[in-house]
Amino acid sequence: MANASLLLLLRSLNASANASDADCEEEDPYRCTFNEEFKYILLPVSYSLVFVVGLCLNLLALYIFLFRIKTWNASTTYMFNLAVSDTLYVISLPLLVYYYAKRNHWPFSVGLCKIVRFLFYTNLYCSILFLLCISIHRFMGICFPLKSLEWGQVRYARWVSATVWAVVIACQSPVLYFVTTSPRCDKITCHDTSAKDLFGDFIIYSTVMLVLLFCIPFLVIIVCYSLMARRLLQPTRGTTRMSSSKKKSVKMIAVVLAVFIICFLPFHITRTLYYYFRDWDLSCATLDAINLAYKLTRPLASTNSCLDPDLVLFSRAEVCEICLPQNAGRPVSDESEKHRVVGSQTTGLSNPVSTSFTGAGSTLIC
């Protein structure tokens, strides 16, 4: 009798455990369960590195912009806003480090979950659009130097920067609606997409953002840099070798494109596949591989917060001057550097390439 009672008790406990497991599986909105053990190490480590390095570099960038550069130009304005965007993002990373270190457990509020995801996408697309602004500014300085003198003024750059912030915030505000938290077993998940019933709408929204805020800017940047490289690679009249300034500009074009492709392109490709293929009739092994690729590219998208200061700040000539002992304590003026560049050009308007250096001022050297 006692053995029979014990057997019934064990069966009851086993049934409860199976029911609990079934409930957890039912809470998973998709038919496949992905192996994500790797991300509980990858994401906390990578986000921690981005936080430490990105915060130091961007705070240093903000310090130089606010206290060491005396006179701003259009390029400086775009770079400052880029540093602000990166700083706002990196200060939110400790929450994600904690979340993934706790294996997808979010003990904070729903509102904080929404804000963290919102800051990621806002930084992502602010970075893309401000890099677009810098690219167009350089393109105008090289290919249309006289027009750049008018349209490259600081007051226009401020209006453009304000427009970029307004557009990105407006476009990313639906993230605050879609993103939510949900209980799963004994944990609370902070979704980076949406709840199951809104996932179809979220895919449509993400596709529109992909086209407007990534594909179009990316194509414009490629066109601008291709035309810039073509102009810079043309031999200057009376010379057979490329000047050091031209070589530096060509190298910067290559670096910007490389970083853009490394940081942003893989993330958007794998994210699109990840979103669309989850509802396709594919094997779970295929879906797991797509999920793996997507999760691996997420840290790459975050590293732009570390690379932006290197690309748009530390390549500038005035930073080298700041680091020199004889210039310690002396504010740097973009106008003074512009005069040095202008003064070094002796060919005037007779040479289109030389004119482009004059029109672009210090921004061409960046």
Confidence of residue 311 (pLDDT cuts 50, 70, 90): low
- pLDDT score recorded for residue 208: 97
Q: Is the pLDDT of residue 356 over 80?
A: no
Q: Among the listed ranges 16-30, 195-209, 309-323, which one has the minimum average pLDDT value? A: 16-30
Contact 187, 104 (CB under 8 A): yes
Task: Give the residue-averaged pLDDT of 141-167.
Answer: 90
Share of the chain above pLDDT 70, in %: 74
Nearest Cα neighbor of 212 from 140, 255, 268, 152 is 268
Q: Is the pLDDT of residue 203 over 50?
A: yes
- Structure pTM? 0.80
- pLDDT score recorded for residue 358: 34
Q: Among the listed ranges 138-147, 192-201, 258-267, 327-336, which one has the minimum average pLDDT value? A: 327-336
DSSP secondary structure, 138-207, as one string = HHHHHH-HHHHHHHTSHHHHHHHHHHHHHHHHHHHHHHHHH--EEEETTEEEE-SS--GGGHHHHHHHHH
Secondary structure percentages of the chain, helix, strand, coil, to 5: 75, 5, 20
Higher pLDDT, 366 or 35: 35
Structure confidence by residue, pLDDT tens digits, 229-255: 888 888 766 665 666 767 777 777 777
Name the helix (H) or strand (E) containing 361: none
Structure confidence by residue, pLDDT tens digits, 6-45: 444 445 444 444 444 444 544 455 567 788 899 999 999 9
Which segment, 45-54, 300-309, 345-354, is predicted with the most confidence on average?
Answer: 45-54
Q: Say if domain 34-233+243-364 classifies as CATH 2.60.40.60.
A: no
- pLDDT score recorded for residue 338: 44
- pLDDT score recorded for residue 146: 85
Residue whose token pair is 């975050």: 302
- pLDDT score recorded for residue 94: 97
Share of the chain above pLDDT 90, in %: 49
- pLDDT score recorded for residue 357: 34
Q: Is the pLDDT of residue 133 over 50?
A: yes
Confidence of residue 260 (pLDDT cuts 50, 70, 90): confident
**How far is residue 92 CA from its own chain's centroid?**
14
Task: Give the residue-averaged pLDDT of 224-229.
Answer: 90
Residue whose token pair is 């992502």: 124
